[in-house]
Structure formats: C-alpha cells, structure tokens
Structure 1
Amino acid sequence: MNSLNNRLYSALDTIVDLFLLNLLWVIASLPLVTFFPATAAMSGVVRNRILQKETDGILKSFLKMFKENFKQSLTISIFWILLAVFLFIDYRLIYPGTSVVQLILSIILAIGILLFSSTSIYLFPIMVHFELSWKHVIRNAFLFSLMNPVLTVLLLIIVGAGIALLYFYPVTILFIGSFTAYTIYYLCQMWFNQLLNMKVTD
C-alpha cells in the first residue's frame, strides 16, 4: 500500500512539475527570439528529471539551463530560421505548378522539408545531453534522424499530434509543451543508451 502511495505521489509530483515547467517555457518564449533558448532549457530540465539529476527546484533549474544553453541555442536558431525561410521561399516559387521540372523540384523540396523536420526533433535532446559545438549539434541531429528512422517517424508523429492538439484546442498550451518534451527526451534517452551499449560492446 505504501509503495502504491509513493508511486502515486511521485506521478502527481511529476505532473505538477511539468505544468510549472510548461508555464515557464511559455513565458520565456513570449519574446519569440528566445523560443530556442527556452526550449533548450525545458529539455535540460526534463533530462535532469528523467536521469534523476534534479537537485534544485523547477524554476532554479530552468533559469540555470536557460543561461547555460542561451548562446548556443540562439546561434542555432538564427541558422535554423534562415534555413526555414529558404525552404518556404522555395515552396512559394515551386507551387503551383504542373510541369515535370516542377514535379521533380517538388519531390526534392518535400525530402528537404522532411529532413529539416526530422533533424529539428533531435536538436534539443542532443544539445542538452552532449557537450558539442552548435555545428556538431546540427550534424549529429541530422545523422541521428537517419540512423533510427522508426524512432524519427514516431517522434514526428508525437510532435505532429501536439501541434494538432494546440491548433484545435488552444487551451492545451497549458501543458502540451513540457509533456511533449518529456516524451521526446525519454525516447531519445533510450536511443542514447542503446548507442552507448553498442559502443561498449564493440
């Protein structure tokens, strides 16, 4: 009975912390230019929670992670926004169109958008888990998205579902960010552990 109560208390404590973390993430993301640093901070707090390295409160941990990842995440955000704008301009130039050339360009663009989206999923888990330069964060995120296509598709579905919920039910902004980040990092951590075990075995 005590064991059940302890697990219930732990689950409720995690849910409350995730709500608070989501609130901090929303507030920190309001200037928009701080979206990447805020998301990196949220991912860092989630990582510490999953790995049971959380020694400070949610607020203190979030501010610490925000400061630690600010420069690198902001640098990546500039590069990522430029790349997103480039893809959007290509989309506007290609569509609408029915020629063979436009069809080929459309396929290439679709692959580019898929790779961009897949790489984006891994940016923050890799950023907070490994000590890498911003260039290597992007490179490893790209490689990881190709190395485990099943996980990549699953993560894309999770993010897509989160975006759909937010679109149809805006009230989900109260929790969708941190719960999505928790799920994504949890699955990525399993993948990181598998890679580590493979490396040790070799």
Structure 2
Amino acid sequence: MRNVLDSRFYRYLEVFSAFLFLSVVWFVACLPVFTVFPATAALFAVIREWVNRGEFDGAVRGFFAFFRANFWQSLGVGMVWTLLGALLAINLLLVGGMPNVLRIPLYVFFISSSLFYVTTSAFLFPVLVNFDTDWRTVLKNSFLLSLSQLPTTLACLAVFATAVFLVLVVPVAALFAGSLTAYAVYRLCARTFGKVAAEGGRNFPESEPPDEA
C-alpha cells in the first residue's frame, strides 16, 4: 500500500491547512488595527514565496519573519495610503456643500482621483513585497502598473469584490478569504511583473526577494 503521506489526499490536506493557518495568523496580526498594513504585507510576502517555490509550507514562521523584517516600511506605506484615502473621502463630503458651479468640476476631479486610488490599491501589496525599493517608488510603480496593465487591475478588483461577496454570503469563507484572495491577486500581478521585465521596463526596479529576519 502506498504511503499515506505521499497520497493526493494528504497533499490537498496540507495545502488546505497552509491556507487556513495563514489566514488565521493574518487576521490575528491585524487585530491591533495599526498593524493591518504590516500584516497584509507579510501575508503577500508568504504568498510570494509559495508561488516562487511551488511549495505551501512555513506559513506561520515565514509570516512573522516578513512581518518583523518589513514592519516599518509597510507601516509607512500604510500611513501614507490611509491618509490619502481619508483626504479623498473628506473632500468628497465637503464638495457636496459647495455651489453648483464649483461642485461639478470638483466632483469629477475627486471621483477620478478616487478611481485612481482604488486601482492603484490593487497593485500596492504585490509591488511592496516584490520590489526592494522605497515607499515613494512603491506608490509610483503601483500607480503606473495599474494604468498600464488595466486588464490585470480589473481582474484583481474582481477578485477582491468576489471575496467580499463570499464572506457576506457565506461567513465561514472568512477563514480562507485572506490567504486565497492574496494568492489569486499575487498570481495575477506576478504575470504582469514578468511581462514588464521581459519588455525591459525601465521605470521599474529589479525584483529582489524581501529581507527575512
């Protein structure tokens, strides 16, 4: 009889457990709220390693290694990105009380800016964990990629929307939503990174593995 550890069922169970543990660890790490960005960056960093190696192991150990190593950069990116989002939301609320002659053009400007904000967010974490660069370049590259690779951007947003829908309809899906969503989004973005590299994109830094603690 074949060794049970070599069976397909055991392999599926191993992958199932890896995604479950990673989602749970990510959720717990997000509970202090201010750690949401570092925790999500660590989540994507683990997914990056899984995709590159083709092996689904070391979820917990890898998560905390990346969490510590990239804490301050991901926290800084998170603070800047949260501030920009808050400013956009506040300005949209303030525009509603202005005269019509100002309201319409300002609505167009801030709604357009909000769309750019949302589309840039689709690439934010994959770029953060895939390129060894400063936070300004992370934001710039995320913005440029979101515009130049629009089909991938829309696919990533569709993944996010589907995950939210599934969690609302089937709450137990929350146990896997974090890791599976990150996996799907990173796989989409990884193909784009390869495409850009193959085309010799000069606007993007060379890909380097994130530092581990």
Aligned to 1:20: 21
- With normalisation by structure 1, the TM-score equals 0.88
Aligned to 1:94: 95
Cα distance in structure 1, aligned partners of 2:14 and 2:57: 14
Task: State the aligned residue count.
Answer: 198
Please say if 1:83 is aligned against 2:84.
yes
| Contact 2:119-2:153 within 8 A present in 1 as well | yes
Please say if 1:57 is aligned against 2:47.
no
Change (3 A) 1:92 1:167: farther
**Structure 1 regions of 5+ residues with no counterpart?**
none
Cα distance in structure 2, aligned partners of 1:97 and 1:164: 35
Greater Cα shift, 92-101 or 176-185? 92-101
Change (3 A) 1:168 1:94: farther
Deviations, residues 60-87 of structure 1 (Å, cap 9, x unaligned): 1000010111010000111111111101
Aligned to 2:68: 67
What one-letter code is carried by the residue in structure 2 that aligns with 1:114? L
2:70 counterpart SS class: helix
| Contact 1:121-1:156 within 8 A present in 2 as well | yes
Cα distance in structure 2, aligned partners of 1:149 and 1:66: 30
Cα distance in structure 2, aligned partners of 1:188 and 1:17: 21
> Shift of the alpha carbon at 1:8?
5.2
Please say if 1:183 is aligned against 2:180.
no
Aligned to 1:138: 139
> Shift of the alpha carbon at 1:7?
5.4
Residues 155-166 of structure 1 aligned to structure 2 (within 5 Å): 155-166=156-167
2:34 counterpart SS class: coil
- The answer to which structure has the higher helix fraction is 1
Cα distance in structure 2, aligned partners of 1:7 and 1:113: 46
Percent of aligned pairs with the same amino acid: 34
| Contact 1:97-1:103 within 8 A present in 2 as well | no
**Structure 2 regions of 5+ residues with no counterpart?**
202-213
Deviations, residues 152-189 of structure 1 (Å, cap 9, x unaligned): 11111211222233344443321111110000001111
What one-letter code is carried by the residue in structure 1 that aligns with 2:32? P
- With normalisation by structure 2, the TM-score equals 0.84
| Contact 1:40-1:66 within 8 A present in 2 as well | yes
Change (3 A) 1:12 1:55: closer
| Contact 2:18-2:56 within 8 A present in 1 as well | no
> Shift of the alpha carbon at 1:44?
0.3
Residues 15-54 of structure 1 aligned to structure 2 (within 5 Å): 15-52=16-53
